[in-house]
Amino acid sequence: MTRFIIYMVMAVVMVACGGEGASQRRSADKESRAEVYHFPRVVAPAYMTERERADYMREHYWDKFDFSDTLFIARVDTVEMLRVYAGYVANFVGPTNGEPIRRLMERAGTSRTMLDYFVMLAERVLHDPNSPLRSDELYIPVLEHQTRSPYYDCYERLAPQYDLDLALKNRIGHAACDFCYTTSSGRTSSLYAVKADYTLVYINNPGCSMCRDIQQTIENSKLLSTMIEDGELVVLAIYPDRDLAEWRKHPLPSQWISGYDKGCVIEQQRLYDLRAIPALYLLDRDKRVLVKDSTSVGEIEYVLSTVVE
pLDDT above 70 for 24: no
* pTM, entire model: 0.83
CA-wise closest residue to 79 among 142, 19, 3, 2: 19
**Residue range 136-155: mean pLDDT, rounded:** 96
Instruction: Report the range out of 14-28, 61-75, 279-293 with the highest average pLDDT.
Output: 279-293
Query: CA separation (Å) from 11 to 6, 76, 196, 267?
Result: 9, 19, 39, 29
Query: CA separation (Å) from 81 to 9, 32, 101, 262?
Result: 12, 18, 15, 44
- 3-state helix, strand, coil split of the chain in percent (to 5) is 50, 15, 40
Domains (range + CATH), the chain: 2-167 (no CATH), 180-307 (3.40.30.10)
Residues 220-244 pLDDT 10s: 999 999 999 999 999 999 999 999 9
CA-wise closest residue to 114 among 161, 72, 59: 72
Contact between residue 219 and residue 207 where contact means Cβ atoms under 8 Å apart? no
Contact between residue 9 and residue 133 where contact means Cβ atoms under 8 Å apart? yes
pLDDT above 80 for 173: yes
pLDDT at residue number 129 = 87
Q: What is the identity of the amino acid at 157? A: R
Confidence band for 6, pLDDT divided at 50, 70 and 90: low
pLDDT at residue number 18 = 52
